[in-house]
Amino acid sequence: MSSATKQKITAELARMRLWRRVGDEREAELSNDRINSLLDGTFAGTTRVRGLPGNPTEFAAAVVPGGRVAEFIRLDPDVRRIVEHFFAEDKPFGTLCHGPQVPAALGHLRGRRSSGFPALAPDIEQAGGEYVEGAAVVDGNMVSCRGWGDLAEWSRAFLDVLDRAAVTV
């Protein structure tokens, strides 16, 4: 990732924290969408995701970001292919906020513990998982959290999972 892209993402994260502090969730969500568009998995308002890696074997870990993008990408065939690979190979997999909607839709939360945006508790349970109200819920190689306020704890837990999986950062 280029230095300019990192600076743009940092600026959007700061803007998102500001909007959430003043209670404007729509602006925070728009900021989250801008961050997602700066990353390679650009969401363009359709049910298809552009810019996904062709070969997931080249990646050591995957993270489904927060925001409502998860509800739109969870049925994308390329997203399915990539997520299936990470769970089949037991590679580190992270979810933030609404992110658990992706593995839930694909049957990967069955028998697992997962955090997520609190309103997703019924979805996680319907998918056969156990909803845990926590900042960094680790279940095997999967790490989940409720949202942006948990990022520090989630990041530490995800780095531990990467370390256990012998992934060099």
CB within 8 Å of 99: residues ≥ 6 apart: 63, 64, 65, 66, 70, 116, 144
Catalytic residue check, 98: yes
Q: Which of 20, 74, 91, 98 is catalytic?
A: 98
At CA 137, angle to CA 92 and CA 68, rounded to 5? 80
DSSP 3-state of 51 = coil
CA 11, 14, 19, 25 dihedral sign is positive
Residues belonging to the active site = 98
